[in-house]
Amino acid sequence: MNIGLIGGGGREHALCAKIIESRFCKNIFCFPGNAGTSKIAKNIDVNILNFNQLLRYLKFYKIDLVVIGPEEPLVKGLVNFLKKNRIRVFGPDKYASKLEGSKAFMKKLCKDNNIPTAKFKVCTHLRQVEDFLKSGNLPTVVKADGLAAGKGVTVCNTKKQVIKISKEIFRGKFKSSRKIVLEEFLQGEEASYFIIADKNSYRFFGSAQDHKRVKENDKGPNTGGMGAYSPAPIINKKIEKKIINKIVKPTLNALKIRKNPYRGFLYIGLMINKGEPYLIEYNIRMGDPECQVILPRLKSDLVEIILNTTKDKLSKCKIEWKTTKSMTIVLCSKGYPGTYIKSRPIKNLESINLKKNEIIYHAGTKIDKNKIISTGGRVLNITSLGKNFLLIRKNIIRLIKKINWNYGFYRKDIGWRVIKKNENY
């Protein structure tokens, strides 16, 4: 079949590489893709939020199945739009996408269904913020309600800071919403748990730990993610059972009762404290860079799984995983997550010899006059598989040193939690 993949980051390069392996895939088209996908698929340069234009291309290329990578088109209703136009599509619809698109919606769903999460208050006026501060402890987490490209969350250590950030959001700092969610600060260790779901069932789809802060030792501002590894050893069988019973099942049931069953990947962002999982956030898609460590571990046919999910026949599929571990380190442009250097050629990428267990996924890159140039803040995801996280990381850093590009930086401490706890892990 002809498959259309929406998005152009590292996550989409990883999805594209896996889709190509499928016995169901005849051709794959990336909208818009990046330099990495251009080597293995056909890139179509299009604004993915212009649904009508996108539809024209999908029809022109006779696309049989659309897979959506990023959250924005999902939250804006691309699934509803394509279904209305009789195109088979994988991903949650507009209503279910509110799990990520509106933090107020997600928190209310948690409250109504006793899902463990941080105590919170939805505020639309400063007076409500001041009231919360009277009873709430510091630090307090201030969150913009709508999508904010990873920039909507601030952990505040003073009441003054809470007021300042709240005022900025009320004044319209983020176009998506002027509402805020105030939350108590959760202690513990963060981990991500993934499932794939259709109307009738769900399946485990990997676990990972990301590194959100830009600097080593988890310092500096938040980013989209500086590196990840899979699996997340903190999620043992006992914790997994709690995640499923206290978080996954009540959420899927709540949406089913509202006649909007969840279909697609669901990213469950967790804080684990003393053996108890608390939901921090839902993302209605695979993580980036988590996808880049989860998919290389998947043994089964991804398109078969996705296709069955769109037909509500997920329970028919076998989903098998490799026992090997994986890690990715994100090579960023200097300046990221602030203003970063752009349009710099990466000269020798294609001459680097990669072994079977080594992959370089492209994120913010494009082809310009036959050269690979950097376009985004997160540029490349250097990924490797193996038996031991310490050795995997050493191998990734060895590969990064081979890349002839002087405009980047990366964290050398990805995986510090697992590597520190147990050198042999």
Residues belonging to the chain: 425
**Measured between alpha carbons, how far is 302 from 291 in angstroms, rounded to an integer?**
13
Q: Which residue type, as a one-letter code, is found at position 323? A: T
Nearer to ligand AMP by C-beta: 280 or 399?
A: 280
CB 300 within 8 A of CB 316: no
Task: Show the site string, 190-229: x = touches ligand AMP by CB under 6 A, - = not.
Answer: x---------------------x---------x-------
Work out what residue 204 binds among ligand AMP, ligand GLY, none; the CB cut-off runs from 5 to 8 Å by kind.
Answer: none
Residue 261 has which token pair?
A: 């069953």
Q: How far is the CB of 269 from ligand AMP (least distance, A)?
A: 5
Count the helix, strand and coil residues of the chain and give each as a percent rounded to the nearest 5: 35, 30, 40
* DSSP for residue 244: I
Among 269, 337, 376, 377, binds ligand AMP (CB under 6 A): 269
Q: How far is the CB of 287 from ligand GLY (least distance, A)?
A: 4
288 binds ligand AMP (CB under 6 A): no
Nearer to ligand AMP by C-beta: 141 or 363?
A: 141
Work out what residue 73 binds among ligand GLY, ligand AMP, none; the CB cut-off runs from 5 to 8 Å by kind.
Answer: none
Q: How far is the CB of 225 from ligand GLY (least distance, A)?
A: 3
Among 69, 206, 264, 287, binds ligand GLY (CB under 6 A): 287
Question: Maximum distance among all alpha carbons in the chain?
Answer: 61
Closest CA to 24 of 70, 65, 79: 65
Residue 349 has which token pair?
A: 């990428």
**Measured between alpha carbons, how far is 166 from 178 in angstroms, rounded to an integer?**
9
What residue ranges in 211-274 does DSSP mark as E strands? Answer: 213-215, 219-222, 227-230, 264-273
List residues bridging with 122 in a β-sheet: 181
Size of the site for ligand GLY (CB under 6 A): 7
Other beta carbons less than 10 A from residue 125's beta carbon: 10
User: Residue written as tokens 């079977």?
Assistant: 356
Cα 174 from chain centre: 20
251 binds ligand GLY (CB under 6 A): no
Taking CA atoms, 260 is separated from 86, 93, 104, 255, in Å, by 19, 8, 18, 5
Among 38, 154, 230, 283, binds ligand GLY (CB under 6 A): 283
Nearer to ligand GLY by C-beta: 279 or 307?
A: 279
Nearer to ligand AMP by C-beta: 4 or 227?
A: 227
Nearer to ligand GLY by C-beta: 4 or 269?
A: 269
**Measured between alpha carbons, how far is 198 from 92 in angstroms, rounded to an integer?**
9
Cα 398 from chain centre: 26
User: Residue written as tokens 């010899």?
Assistant: 353
105 binds ligand AMP (CB under 6 A): no
Work out what residue 280 binds among ligand AMP, ligand GLY, none; the CB cut-off runs from 5 to 8 Å by kind.
Answer: ligand AMP
CB 365 within 8 A of CB 380: yes
List residues bridging with 215 in a β-sheet: 219
**Measured between alpha carbons, how far is 79 from 92 in angstroms, rounded to an integer?**
7
**Measured between alpha carbons, how far is 31 from 46 in angstroms, rounded to an integer?**
6
Size of the site for ligand AMP (CB under 6 A): 14
Residue 35 has which token pair?
A: 């330099």
Among 198, 288, 301, 358, binds ligand GLY (CB under 6 A): 288
Among 72, 210, 301, 358, binds ligand GLY (CB under 6 A): 210
Cis peptide before 296 (omega within 30 of 0): no
Q: How far is the CB of 399 from ligand AMP (least distance, A)?
A: 27
Q: Which stretch binds ligand AMP (CB under 6 A): 179-187, 290-298, 385-393, 409-417?
A: 179-187
Q: How far is the CB of 8 from ligand GLY (least distance, A)?
A: 15
Q: How far is the CB of 136 from ligand GLY (least distance, A)?
A: 26
Q: Which stretch binds ligand GLY (CB under 6 A): 169-177, 282-290, 313-321, 403-411?
A: 282-290
Nearer to ligand GLY by C-beta: 91 or 287?
A: 287
Residues 221-250 that bind ligand GLY (CB under 6 A): 224-225
Task: Show the site string, 116-155: x = touches ligand AMP by CB under 6 A, - = not.
Answer: --x----------------------x-x---------x-x
| Residues within the interface to ligand GLY (CB under 6 A) | 210, 224-225, 283, 287-288, 290
| Residues within the interface to ligand AMP (CB under 6 A) | 118, 141, 143, 153, 155, 183, 185-186, 190, 212, 222, 269, 280-281
